[in-house]
């Protein structure tokens, strides 16, 4: 893993502007390149904190991500179901995961640029996540091309960014519901996808998902860390706050089974998992 500079050396305003540029870029390939260039600058210590400026006054958040013309966005219930016994079905699965990873780049940069009052270490964490997600998207796009397709060739849904909009007002809600609900769901379902791909003989795709699964544990753990940090700052009980936000935004509905091992590694505790399993539908 590359060595990153200490958080205190990062420039608030420059970093916020760079994150907003990454978020606003509509072309997926350009977004990956811009993300990699930005995180390389962070690693090199080129973005330094300007203590003379009020970050909140100096920066207006980018409201929405730049979007490519394709894929067509539809309701999740309108996405066709395809088996993995045919190449098209496997390509559709790769495309679905690539779409999630592209949205995850946007979500990470949005966290950096939308919440400038958070410590610089928060921005550093989510910049790291954006860098990982960009690499994941590039891996999956290359796999799609090997299967004879491109990103945009299948329809997709917009559920991830809809949750970003619903939590734009409060970083605590964002940490509870994006990494610890939507991204944590990926920890639950990815092992089953890997197994199905292996049965179908597609070890190349399965190997890519194994890499993504390992690294997504750390991303969810970042959400767990900042949820607890924010609760401590606000004098709130983390578990009660998390489930209150689940009830408000998710109507208390959780899908099971849970990947208990991965979720424990990602900062959930046994009491949370037991309460989540009690909510399963």
Specify the number of domains making up the chain: 1
What is the per-residue pLDDT for 8?
A: 47
Sign of the four-CA dihedral 39, 44, 46, 48:
positive
Residue 53 has pLDDT above 80, yes or no: no
Please indicate, yes or no, if residue 66 is contained in any of the structural domains: no
Place of tokens 């966005």: 73
Is 71 within a domain?
Answer: no
- CA–chain centroid gap for 143, Å, is 20
Domain coverage including residue 185: 7-50+83-279
Residues 6+ apart with CB under 8 A from 126: 108, 109, 111, 112, 222
Of 195, 192, 176, give the one whose Cα is nearest residue 238. 176
Number of helical (H) and strand (E) elements in the chain, helices listed first: 12, 0
Q: How far apart are CA 68 and CA 38, in angstroms?
A: 20
Question: Is residue 238 assigned to a domain?
Answer: yes
- pLDDT, greater one: 59 or 4: 59
Q: Is the pLDDT of residue 2 over 50?
A: no
Residue 239 lies in a domain: yes
Q: Does 62 reside within a domain?
A: no
Residue 112 resides in a domain = yes
pLDDT tens digits, residue range 161-186? Answer: 999 999 999 999 999 999 999 999 99
Decide: 136 and 83 in contact? Cβ < 8 Å: no
Q: Are 104 and 63 in contact (CB under 8 A)?
A: no
Are the CB atoms for 280 and 254 separated by under 8 Å?
A: yes
Specify the CATH number for the domain of residue 143. Answer: 1.20.1260
Model-level pTM?
0.92
């Amino acid at each position: 893993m590359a060595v990153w500079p200490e958080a205190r050396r990062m420039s608030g305003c420059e970093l916020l502007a760079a994150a907003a540029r990454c978020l606003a870029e509509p072309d997926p390939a350009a977004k990956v390149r811009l993300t990699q260039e930005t995180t390389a600058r962070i690693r090199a210590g080129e973005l330094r904190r300007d203590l003379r400026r009020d970050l909140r006054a100096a920066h207006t958040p980018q409201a929405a991500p730049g979007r490519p013309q394709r894929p067509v966005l539809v309701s999740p219930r309108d996405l066709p179901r395809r088996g993995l016994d045919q190449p098209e079905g496997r390509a559709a699965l790769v495309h679905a995961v690539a779409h999630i990873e592209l949205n995850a780049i946007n979500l990470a940069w949005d966290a950096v640029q939308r919440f400038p009052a958070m410590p610089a270490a928060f921005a550093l964490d989510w910049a790291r996540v954006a860098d990982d997600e960009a690499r994941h998207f590039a891996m999956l796009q290359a796999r799609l091309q090997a299967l004879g397709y491109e990103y945009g060739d299948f329809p997709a849904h917009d559920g991830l960014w809809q949750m970003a909009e619903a939590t734009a007002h409060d970083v605590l809600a964002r940490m509870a519901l994006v990494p610890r609900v939507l991204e944590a769901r990926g920890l639950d379902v990815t092992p089953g996808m890997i197994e199905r791909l292996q049965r179908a003989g597609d070890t190349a795709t399965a190997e890519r998902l194994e890499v993504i699964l390992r690294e997504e544990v750390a991303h969810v753990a970042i959400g767990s860390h900042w949820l607890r940090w924010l609760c401590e700052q606000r004098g709130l009980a983390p578990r009660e706050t998390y489930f209150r936000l689940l009830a408000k935004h998710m109507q208390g509905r959780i899908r099971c089974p849970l990947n208990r091992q991965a979720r424990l590694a990602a900062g959930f505790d046994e009491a949370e998992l037991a309460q989540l399993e009690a909510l399963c539908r």
